[in-house]
Amino acid sequence: MLGGTADAALRRAGRIAAGWVSSSRTTLPEISRGVRIVREAAESAGRDPDSLRIVVRGVVQAGRRDDTIPLSGDWDQIRAGAERYAEAGATELFYEPNWDPRIGGPDADPRAASELGAEVLAGLAPNG
C-alpha cells in the first residue's frame, strides 16, 4: 500500500502497489480523482485495476454536522457519508476520529476523548 496525493505518487501506487491510502484531509472529489489515476496507471502497467485496495482515511466528527466533512453529524449521517466514499471508489474506509479536536486536539481532555472514542466505536459498529 502506498500513500500520497501528487499525481506521480498516485501513478506509482497503481503501477507497483497493492493499492492506495488517502490522506485524512483528502476531499471526496480528490478521492474520485485519485482512484481514477491509480486505476488508470494499474491498467497501463498491465495490472487488474479492480484488484487494488483503495483505503480512505475519513475524518469523523460525531455529533456535529459539517457539510464539508462527509463523516460528520449523527450516526445515520456518518453512515451515509461512508456510502459516498464507496461511490467515489473506496474499497475500505478507515474511520479517523483523531482530527476531531475533542479527541486529538492539544486541549482535549483525555477522559472525555476516551469516552467520545468509545461512543464512535459503538455508534459505527456493524449492524447485526
| Three-state DSSP state, 85 | helix
Exposure of 34 by Cβ count < 10 A (0-12 exposed, 13-18 middle, 19+ buried)?
buried
| Whether 1 contacts 57, CB under 8 Å | no
Q: What are the backbone dihedrals phi and psi of residue 8, each rounded to the nearest 5 degrees, phi first?
A: -60, -40
State the virtual CA torsion across 115, 117, 121, 123 in degrees, nearest 10: 70
Report pLDDT for 11: 98
| Vertex 71 angle, CA 98 and 55, to 5° | 75
Residue 112 DSSP SS3: helix
Neighbours of 80 (CB within 10 A): 13
Residue 99 has pLDDT above 80, yes or no: no
Residue-wise pLDDT tens digits, 4-25:
999 999 999 999 999 999 987 8
Predicted confidence at residue 5, as pLDDT, reads 92
pLDDT in tens, 37-46: 999 999 999 9
